[in-house]
Homo-oligomer: A and B are copies of this chain.
Amino acid sequence: MPPPTVVSRPFLFSSEQAVASKLEAFARLSADDRFALAEATHNFRYVEPRRDLISEGDKPRFVHLVLDGWACRYKQLPDGKRQIVSLFVPGDFCDINVYILKAMDHSIAAITRLKVAMITPDEMNALTSERPRVTQALWWHELVTTAVQREWTLNLGQRSAYERLAHLLVELYLRLNVVGRAHDGRCDFPLTQNDLADATGLTAVHVNRTLQELRRDGLIELERKQLHILDMPRMMDVSMFNANYLHLDHEGRHLDANA
């Protein structure tokens, strides 16, 4: 068994708490629910940076759940172009129910060193049957995930490079904030400019220049894998950010998005 993750983690949250936090952004869970969740995440493994967690063509057999670190979903084209179609941060499930499909149509790779739970179909059933709140929360998670995917479609289709990058940074900050991994405008940010390019459909060169613009405009600081959003209101303004698609306005919601 490999040693525990060494990914920098400046805040005092355990992996398990990230998961509960994420689902509790939607529904209040009982101690019992939380225990069942912890049970389901018992079986986990580590994946090294840049390694595939699962590859296109593989038969999916587990639901994956990111406990610590970042990962990405990507698709590759025959001409070599690569698109990161989504990002995973702690607390994110990868494809609840995928296992009913014959083969993965995309790959999932670790960005940082990754701690990821592997949940069998049986365990998922055990988790959801008799647990309507958890079931509902998982549904909410699915709906939000696809809402994010739609927002990315909008992002790529209609926003300029500048707006697009700003939007992505804000989204990630807010998603990290939900699971207690972002505060005061600051968070870990392990993506390279190359990753950002693949996620935004830009070239790395242009990402570089655009980030410089964002810095020059006093909107962000970004170095040594640390992001600092200096002016959240203006960032949201220039990126035309509307948080409604994250659906954080629920009963269980207790963290302030701007905390």
**Chain A interface residues toward B at CB < 8 A:** 56-57, 73, 75, 77-79, 81-83, 85-86, 95, 97-98, 100-103, 105-106, 136, 139-140, 142-143, 145-147, 149-154, 156-159, 200-201, 240, 242, 244-245, 247, 249-250
Contact = CB atoms under 8 A, between A and B. Distances in A.
A240 B101 contact: no
A172 to B, nearest CB: 16
A154 B75 contact: yes
The number of times this chain is found in the oligomer is: 2
Contact of A101 (B85, B101, B140, B153): B140
A186 to B, nearest CB: 27
Of listed A95, A143, A154, residue having the most chain B CB within 10 A: A154
A246 to B, nearest CB: 8
Contact of A157 (B73, B83, B240): B83
B143 A100 contact: yes
A106 B150 contact: yes
Given A79-B240, A157-B201, A150 B85 contact: yes
B139 A142 contact: no
B247 A105 contact: yes
A79 B158 CA distance: 10
Nearest to A81: B158
A19 B86 CA distance: 30
B97 A143 contact: yes
Nearest to A147: B105
B240 A143 contact: no
Nearest to A156: B156
A57 B247 CA distance: 11
A251 B166 CA distance: 44
B154 A152 contact: no
Contacts of A75: 150-151, 154
B154 A153 contact: no
A86 B247 contact: no
A244 B100 contact: no
28 contacts: A57-B244, A75-B154, A77-B154, A79-B240, A81-B158, A82-B158, A83-B154, A83-B157, A83-B158, A86-B150, A97-B139, A97-B143, A98-B143, A100-B139, A101-B140, A102-B249, A105-B244, A105-B245, A106-B147, A106-B245, A142-B142, A149-B149, A149-B153, A153-B153, A153-B156, A156-B157, A156-B201, A157-B200
